[in-house]
Structure formats: C-alpha cells, structure tokens
Amino acid sequence: MAVQYKSFRDRGVYIGFQGRAVEMLRCRSPRDPEFGDFEAIVPNFGGTDMGRVSNDLVMPFRDVPNWSDLIGRDKLLHERVSYSYSERQGHLDPITIRDMRLQADLEAGDERDKRLAENEISITRIDIQNAFLEILAMFGRKYAEIKGESQLRSVNRQVLMSLSDSNPADMLHLVRIIVGAVVSGASISRDELQGRLDTLADYAAPICSLVTEDSTRSVGFLSRQMRLLEQLREGVAEYCSVQRIEEVMEAGRVVVFNLDTFIEYTMERAHTIKAAVLDDRYYLNDKKYAGLLKLIRDERIKISFALDGWAGHATRWLSVGEDDVPARNAVLTFILRQMPAPPQELDDFVERKFGGHNPMSMRGRIVKEMHSWMDDSLDQEIYRRVMHVRTGVDPLADRMRPATPDLQRAIKRAISATS
C-alpha cells in the first residue's frame, strides 16, 4: 500500500531486529485507535515513487512472526514491544525502543550482543556524569561574557578533568569562579544550582554534546549517533566527488542532501534546548523550571526521531574499505533504497530553512537504475562486513573517559562551599 508520512511518528520507530527479512522494520501507533495494536512497516517493500510516497508493507505488529520467523533475541524483542502497547497506551519513541533493544540483547542475545549491550549501558551511566561537567562549563562560558570572567570563556569538560588530574586546587578554584558567576547571574542559591545541575544532567545526557556544541559528539548516545551521520555525510560526499559515473554522483547528492536536512533539523532542536537551558527566566520559579524540563523531553524525542535508523547505514558505509568500489556502490545503493524517509514535517522545515523542495523525487529513478530487485547477494556481503565491524572498538572510546565519582564529589563540595 502507498503511504505518505505526515510526521516522524507516522513514519514509525526503527525496532532493530537482526533477521534479514525484518532488519529494517519499523513500528508505529495505529492510525485507527480502535485497532488496538501497533502497526509494523517494512519500508520500501516495493520500491519508491517520487521519493516521499513509499510502497510500504504494513501489517499488524502482532502478525510479524507469522510473516517472518523470529527466533531468540528478535522473538523476545517483539514480545516486549507488543506488550508495551497497553503498558504505554500506544506511545512509541526511539529512546524507549532502544532501552527495550538493549534489554533484549542482555537477556537473549549471543555473547557479542550481551557484551555490546553491557558496554552501551555502562557508557550511558558515564554520560550522566560527563553531562554534569559539560552543563556546568556551558553555564560558565555564558556568564564569562556577562561577568567579564575571561578565564571562563574556553572552559569545558576536558579542561575541568585535565585540571583535576594535574592540579586539583586550580580545578576547584575554577569551579568556584563558575559557580559564583552562575549564582550571581541567575539569582539562584548554591543548593538550587546543584540540584538543577543534577536534574539537567540526567535529562540532557543523551543529547549533551549536541546541546553544548561539543564537536567530539562524545557525550550522549544520540550525540554519538549524530557523529556517525556526520561521518557518513563526509564520506559519501568525498567518495562521490571523485566518481565519474553519473548515477553514482547523483545518488550521492541525494543521500548527502537528505543527511544535511536531517542534521540541520536535529541541530535546530538542540539549539532550542541550549537557548532554554541558558535562559534565566526558566529558573525564576518551580513552574517555569518544570516547563524547561518538559521542553527538553519534547525536543529530545524529536531529535531521537530525526536520528532514528541512520546509525546502521553509517556503520555499513564505514565498514567497507575505501578502495573497494563495488562494495561502496552497493552500500550507497542500499542507503538510497532504505534510508529514513523525510516526513512532511521535515519537508516543511526544509522549505522554511532553505526555501526549496527536498529533491527526493530523484530517488526512485536512481534506485531502479542501480539496484537489481531480484538479487540481494551484495546486501548479504555488506551485512557480513557490518556484523564484523560491530565487534570492534568504539572509535570514540578514548574520548569517553568519565568524570570519576571523586571528581563529582569534589565539584559538589566546591559548589556548596562557594560564598
């Protein structure tokens, strides 16, 4: 059936099944509330027509096991998502599904799945610690301009952690300067500041590097997903710039433009959060502060929808050799066919931001020229390479050193002692 997505929610959430037939499957709340079950979507099951209209296969989510065998971890994940329909009153978002996916990996995945899930959950805990420092430093940079504190203009998490290692006294002195500037500038008490830093770190942890504009994109799983998108965009643009096959160049332009629009949309949401977090008016009373937390929740979910499903495509691209032209072209074709479709709300953003129409209308023609619908042998090879890469080391691991509990305690004591 033909479906035109009106919103990210209408497009559904990437589930993350491992079986080949259901690998790209998405799930959404039913359009008819009387239906009483999630809907499963197999994107572009029959190709695309004019880019924004997808010939998707849509079925009741509960019927997926009857359409394709689900075993082990996939079967458990299906059961968890199905059960959540009544538990969450039909609500779906990528952050919730990610939590279910990690839990299914822990309980029913193979040893590699369990190891990766344990590592990801551990990093998520570290994110909250690092977000505390990032947000404190962001406040410091803001009030550096207001209070004329020149030593705060370039402060960030890395500076605080480096000082903690080399000269703890200097680190605590710098924290006291930051806290003094924030308390004075925002007209809140030290206790209020510490409590709100704890809460903001918890809320903003998944998107911290996006909000604080940390170019390493290392704090927050959604920040790291954004870095994968940026690497994909850079890689595809560079690859297609030296190609002489018109179809490859055109495919690359479509993929890069689509990536640009998703990235621009995501960063606008992050800038909205940053502006609100640094807006003193949100700290005047509990009601306004509750409004700030709601804004962060809402914008964070929008970011998760915009990034949803892209990480796998980036991993595919990064897993093939730079000189392996057939594999590069095969991955590019796969991305073109399966990349997340821009819903109407993203098209509206493109119109407002760029004053132009999303050229996804090129996509259907290019895909038909470059991909044989009857032969998936290349996809099998790419899948093998991707699964091999998944067992490797996170390239951002050296940037993920956490704020230690001792450092956290020292900073909180410095906040409490600030006069």
The 3-class secondary structure across 103-144, one letter per residue, is: HHHHHHCCHHHHHHHHHHHHHHHHHHHHHHHHHHHHHHHHHH
Q: Please answer whether residues 25 and 40 qualify as being in contact, where contact means their C-beta atoms are separated by less than 8 angstroms.
A: yes
Q: What is the pLDDT of residue 377?
A: 41
Q: What is the pLDDT of residue 359?
A: 52
Which conformational region is residue 25 in: left (phi greater than 0), alpha (psi within -120 to 50 degrees), or beta? beta
User: Tens of pLDDT along 331-367?
Assistant: 998 898 888 888 888 888 877 876 655 555 444 444 4
Q: Please answer whether residues 340 and 292 qualify as being in contact, where contact means their C-beta atoms are separated by less than 8 angstroms.
A: no
**Dist CA 349 CA 351 (whole Å):** 5
Q: How confident is the model at residue 140 (pLDDT cuts 50, 70, 90)?
A: confident
Domain ranges of the chain: 2-109, 128-399
User: Tens of pLDDT along 239-254?
Assistant: 988 887 888 888 889 9
Q: Please answer whether residues 411 and 175 qualify as being in contact, where contact means their C-beta atoms are separated by less than 8 angstroms.
A: yes
Mean pLDDT (the chain) is 82
Mean predicted confidence (pLDDT) in 58-80: 93
* 231 DSSP 8-state letter: H
Residue 80 is encoded by which pair of tokens? 């968890």
- The residue with greater pLDDT, 234 or 54, is 234
User: Tens of pLDDT along 19-65?
Assistant: 988 998 999 988 776 777 899 998 877 654 444 445 778 899 999 99
